[in-house]
Amino acid sequence: MGFSVRRSARCRTVGAGLAAVALAAGAVSCSKGESEESPKMTPAAAVAKAAKNSDDISSLRYRMTGEYPEQGRIKAEASMRIKPTIAMSMKMTALDQGKDGSAEIRLVDKAMYIGGNPEMAKEMDGKTWMKFDMSALSDEQLGGGAAGAGQAEQNPAAESTFMTGAKDVKKVGTEKVDGVETTHYTGTLTLDALRDSFKDEDKATREKREKSVEQYEKMGVDKLAMDMWIDGDDHTKQFRMKGAADKGTLDLTITFLDINKPVTVTAPPAKDTVDLAEMMKEAQSG
């Protein structure tokens, strides 16, 4: 009986770790500035220009709130370096999951570390961090978690380009977001239309955007409703995406706090870390 209880607890710990890996994939575009768009610019052109400017982002800090399928309500704040190498630090909370809902996530040297959860630490012999080597496990082993972790390696500005594929982009008006004057736009598109929008891009861009599209397909989302708040420097200050998924609602708002400032992320001490792949083997072996 004692072994069965411990194995069950270990399985719950592994599951919590995989959920955190999947949620760590949230990032879009970013911005700064305080003036409004040129009055001569059409809504579609304004959105396209903001998407183009996202290519020059080397680092960002952002806040994410909303609802994620199966996980419920979430909030997070993160710092991310895109160039020259990917690194990320995120503190997040799944508000509907009680004590199991809080975690800190770090992405360093193609390894993801999950910690900051006292309930998880109880099942890891007191160690406070779980390590996930993103090349160690297959998608089948992770139940889709590996793909979510892979998305964290992509340029986080990629999803801000999605709205350029919408045929119904409209200007809502001007609004302040975190004290910054912005212009608010809306648009909708299907995943098929999204794929069509980047068919003429270079191979590397198509592959990156295709990975993002696949994440929505796995959730069962086939149509996205989007809002974008663009500042006077033609960067995205805030971005929202909504869609109906198979197992709940996708409704995420990402607010960008700053861009292109130094971001340093360090791996937790090895003595405080356990390997997720090894935990999965133990849980499966019984």
The residues, ordered by sequence, that sit 6+ positions from 125 with a Cβ below 8 Å of its Cβ are 274
pLDDT (0 to 100) of residue 2:
37
| CATH code for the structural domain at 2-285 | 2.50.20.20
pLDDT-derived band at 19, boundaries 50, 70, 90? low
Burial of 10 (0-12, 13-18, 19+ CB in 10 A): middle
- Is there a contact between 29 and 160 (Cβ–Cβ < 8 Å)? yes
Task: For residues 44 and 46, give the distance between their C-alpha atoms in angstroms, rounded to a whole number.
Answer: 5
Task: For residues 215 and 205, give the distance between their C-alpha atoms in angstroms, rounded to a whole number.
Answer: 16
- Using CA atoms, how far residue 98 sits from 66, 72, 91, 284, in Å, is 17, 11, 15, 26
Instruction: Centre a 10 Å sphere on the Cβ of residue 62 and count the other Cβ atoms it contains.
Output: 24
Question: Which residue has tokens 């990320």?
Answer: 88
Q: How would you classify the pairing of strands 273-275 and 129-133? A: parallel
Q: How would you classify the pairing of strands 87-94 and 102-108? A: antiparallel
| Domain spans, the chain | 2-285
pLDDT (0 to 100) of residue 109:
85
Backbone angles phi, psi at 124, to 5 degrees: -125, 35
For 115-173, write each residue's pLDDT tens digit. Answer: 876 777 777 777 889 888 876 544 444 433 433 344 344 445 667 778 888 999 999 99
pLDDT higher than 90, residue 177: yes
Residue of 32, 37, 55, 67 whose CA lies nearest to 184: 37
**Residue of higher predicted confidence among 39 and 228:** 228
